[in-house]
Structure formats: structure tokens, C-alpha cells
Amino acid sequence: MTALSRVGDPARTDDFTVIQLSRDEPERFGEIFDAYFAEIHRYVVSRLGPDAAEDVVAETFLAAFRKRTLYDADRAGVRTWLYGIATNLIGNHRRTEVRALRALGRRSPELRVEGHDDRVAAQVSAQGLRPELAAAIAKLNKGDRDVLLLVALAGLGHDEIAVALEIPYGTVGSRLSRARKKLRAALGGTNPMLDLEENDRG
């Protein structure tokens, strides 16, 4: 881990300091990029596949750079802030995400990988996401899916998700509960988070 912080680390102010310095020395923002690029990239690839991810991750850091004067360290750590920006940008690609999840839901092990959707499905499948789970996630509304995947793929806590998505803390819990209930029903009563957490570790 770099000297730059994650939420809860004693070095958290280092991120804030770097962002403060980048206001007069823009090149310093490269330290934020270096510290968080790989993690944000993994998250976006998990949601949109590799093709769309490149643009979304670039847009995430560009938006963060442009908004760096508005960053409030008392409100959120840099990691949470970046996940919020990335998730909002993923929302602009909602159709791509749902299409990829549906493609995986239809995919059988012997299906040839030909089109973009199938390539995305193969990428997600290679990471261990079962087709029936992908199909169930595709049926969730955007708000529930965002909360579920920020927990499962990014490992954010309820308070961090509330800040990242700019929603009340209680809304995070209700969306997550609703998403889990829908997925559990779609998967015949099994715990959907076990698959998602295993996928994230894999």
C-alpha cells in the first residue's frame, strides 16, 4: 500500500494534502491516480467489462481532477469519493452493464465467445460470477444494484456508500436488504453475497 491513505488509515490526511497541493501543482494529482487507479479499474471492469471500463475509469479521474477544489476530506476519504464518481459514471452506461449481465445469464459453458456482450460475459464468468447470479443482478434497479455491488466488489461500508452515492444512511440498508432478498429468491434461497464476495476475492 502506498503512503496515500484509505478510509480509516492514520495517513488519511495525506490524500487531502496531495489534493490541496494539486490545486497549485496539478501534476501532484498523479499521486492520487497512482494510488487508486488499479482498484477503481477493477471495480469498473467488474461492472462493465474491459472495453467500456477504460473510458469510464479515465472519465472518473478526469472528473476528480476537475472537482479537486470541491473535495471535502471531512465528508469522505478519497477512495470513497472516487467510487462515488465511478458509480455515477457507470450509471451512464447502465444499458451496457445490464446487457453484459443478461448475456452472461444466457451463456452456457460451451457457447462460443463472438460478440462484445459475450466477450464481457466471458470476462465476468472467468472471474467466477455464476450465470444465474448475473441474470438476477441484471434485474435489479440501478439504485439497488449500485449499493449491492459497492458492498460486494468495492468492500465499502454503509456509511461510505451513503456518502459516495449521496443518499441517506438508512436508504443504503433498505436498498441492500431489498437487493439481497430479490437475489436470494432468484437463487432458490442461497446467500447471493457468498458468490459475490468469492468472485471479488478470485
Ordered per-residue pLDDT tens for the chain, 202 residues = 333 444 444 444 489 999 999 999 999 999 999 999 999 999 999 888 888 899 999 999 999 999 999 999 999 999 999 999 999 999 888 888 888 787 777 755 444 444 444 444 444 433 446 778 888 898 999 999 999 999 999 999 999 999 999 999 999 999 999 999 999 898 887 766 655 655 445 4
Q: Answer yes or no: same fold for 1-92 and 140-202.
A: no
- Cα–Cα dist 183/132, whole Å: 9
Report pLDDT digits (tens) over 16-50: 999 999 999 999 999 999 999 999 999 999 888 88
CATH of domain 1-92: 1.10.1740.10
Q: Which of 133, 158, 149, 16 is nearest to 87 (CA)?
A: 149
pLDDT at 85: 97
Cα-to-chain-centroid distance, residue 56? 11
- Cα–Cα dist 50/60, whole Å: 15
Architecture of domain 140-202: Orthogonal Bundle (1.10)
Q: Can you give the residue ranges of every domain in the chain?
A: 1-92, 140-202
**94 exposed, middle or buried (CB, 10 Å; 0-12, 13-18, 19+)?**
middle
